[in-house]
Amino acid sequence: MNHKRSFGRKRWFLLLLAAVLLLQPAGGRTVRAQEPQNTAGAQIRTEAQLQEGEQTKTTGQAEALQEQADALTAAHLAAWEQAKQEYAAQLAAYQQALEARQAEEGSQTADGQEQMAQAAWLTEYQQVLAGQPAESAAQAAAQQQAALAAQEAVQAPQAAAGAPAVEGAVPFTPLAGKTVSILGDSISTYQGWIPAGYACFYPDAGNNVQDVGQTWWMQVIQNTGMRLLVNGSYSASTVCGDSRAEDSSAGCSSRRIVDLMGNTGTVPDVILVFLGVNDFFRSIGLGSFSGTATYRNDHYIWDFTEGYELMLQKLQAVYPTSRIYCMTLIEANSWEGTRVNANGNTVEDYNSRIRQVAAAHGIPVIDVHACGIGSNELGRYTSDGVHPNREGAARIAAYVTNALLMAG
């Protein structure tokens, strides 16, 4: 009886043990099946955290770069404001000195000065026509005056880009009939003859250039027989600045380059580039130049070498068949001696860089700085130490005309 009871207990114990053993693997499998799911979830969370960290890092870098750009722009604007103040002070001193000189030369009236300027210009223009009889030079001068009169009578200035040239009696030259566009600053402006929205300087109450025919560029056009396509000149503009903005005034901007073809999309035969004096005034750094043409990218540029090279790079890409000429700068805003900007650079420093960059790109240079308007002559040839008066414009025109005709 006791033996049977003991056997029954063992049997129940064995059955209970078997049940525990059978259930244990299932429980283990359940645990092991959950472990990979938890690991995958942890990996997903880790990758998300890494991506979030990278995005935060990228955002921080972008914000830091933007802060640097804003700080640089503010610094240059401050330098420009200082340059304007210096300009105003020097202009006042200049005007005072000019009045004193005019008082000393009281016997020489304004009309007499203008006659002298016309005589000097005619002499230089005759030199351009060297080899022809004197009467031919006089006839050419008469023809250009007739052409100017015809232009004023037949065609009113147009505010839009690409004002058509005026047909009339013009000198016969190798450039006769060719179209020309100008990429310049205030020195090359005239109200009604620049693209709509461009800032203008001429005519100005303090300057005796009061007719478009008295500007340096219109005289060149009449002297050579070329036809104006677009005068893309913008007062106070620099070579440097934002090269990408649709409303940028920077000479290196795509907007200024494309505007040279006007509304008709015509490619000019000749392009004259007369820019850089405002970069000097704003003390935009010259930068460095290796002497070899370097490809430049679009961005906000505050380096004269980079900006000038980008400008020429774009001109050659957009107008591969045009004859491009770079023009050096005349002295600016000084009465006696050479003005130095905040960086310790002179106008000649910028001119030297213009020559270097142009040479690297195979573009000829018209050295207007050598036309005879030096620091000591600014009182005679400009109205404010920067903008040419009639006599100064005629002198620049004669020099540029000669250079263009010599180049053929």
What does the pLDDT look like over 97-113, one tens digit per residue? 556 655 665 544 444 55
| pLDDT tens string 194-241 | 999 999 999 999 999 999 999 999 999 999 999 999 999 999 999 999
Confidence band, pLDDT 50/70/90 cuts, at residue 405:
very high
Residue partners of 405: CB distance under 8 A and separation at least 6? 128, 173, 174, 175, 224
Contact 111, 103 (CB under 8 A): no
Q: Which amino acid is at 51?
A: Q
H or E stretch including 136?
A: helix 134-154
Nearest Cα to 382, choosing from 95, 85, 118? 95
pLDDT at 255 over 90: yes
Angstrom distance (rounded) from CA 305 to CA 395: 28
Confidence band, pLDDT 50/70/90 cuts, at residue 182:
very high
What is the chain's Cα-based Rg?
37
Angstrom distance (rounded) from CA 7 to CA 304: 107
Contact 327, 392 (CB under 8 A): no
pLDDT at 83 over 80: no
- The CB density around residue 287, as the number of other CB atoms within 10 Å, is 16
Pairing label, strands 241-242, 300-301: antiparallel
Mean predicted confidence (pLDDT) in 365-379: 95
In the chain, domain spans: 108-407
Peptide bond into 203 cis (omega under 30): yes
Of residues 351 and 334, the one with the higher pLDDT is: 351
Mean predicted confidence (pLDDT) in 321-348: 93
CA 94 from chain center: how many Å?
A: 28
Angstrom distance (rounded) from CA 249 to CA 247: 7
- What is the pLDDT at residue 253? 98
Strand order across the 365-366 sheet: 227-233, 179-184, 270-274, 323-327, 365-366
pLDDT at 160 over 50: no
CA 339 from chain center: how many Å?
A: 22
- What is the pLDDT at residue 333? 86
- What is the pLDDT at residue 54? 65
Angstrom distance (rounded) from CA 171 to CA 147: 9
**What mean pLDDT is reported for the chain?**
77
- What is the pLDDT at residue 171? 67
> Which of 20-34, 118-132, 385-399 ranks highest by mean pLDDT?
385-399
| For the chain, percent of residues with pLDDT exceeding 70 | 58
Confidence band, pLDDT 50/70/90 cuts, at residue 91:
low
Cα dihedral 378→384→387→390 (10° resolution):
-70
Matching CATH number, 108-407, of 3.40.50.1110, 3.90.280.10, 3.40.190.10, 3.40.50.720: 3.40.50.1110
Which class for 182: exposed (0-12), middle (13-18), buried (19 or more C-beta within 10 A)? Answer: buried
- What is the pLDDT at residue 276? 98
Angstrom distance (rounded) from CA 98 to CA 245: 41
Of residues 63 and 262, the one with the higher pLDDT is: 262
User: Would you list the DSSP string of 219-237?
Assistant: HHHHHHT-EEEEEEE-TT-
Sole residue written with tokens 């195979």: 362
Residues 365, 310, 68, CA angle at the centre, nearest 5°? Answer: 135
Mean predicted confidence (pLDDT) in 120-144: 42
| pLDDT tens string 32-67 | 434 444 555 555 556 666 666 666 666 676 677 667
Nearest Cα to 171, choosing from 211, 214, 213, 125? 125
Confidence band, pLDDT 50/70/90 cuts, at residue 286:
very high
Mean predicted confidence (pLDDT) in 332-337: 78
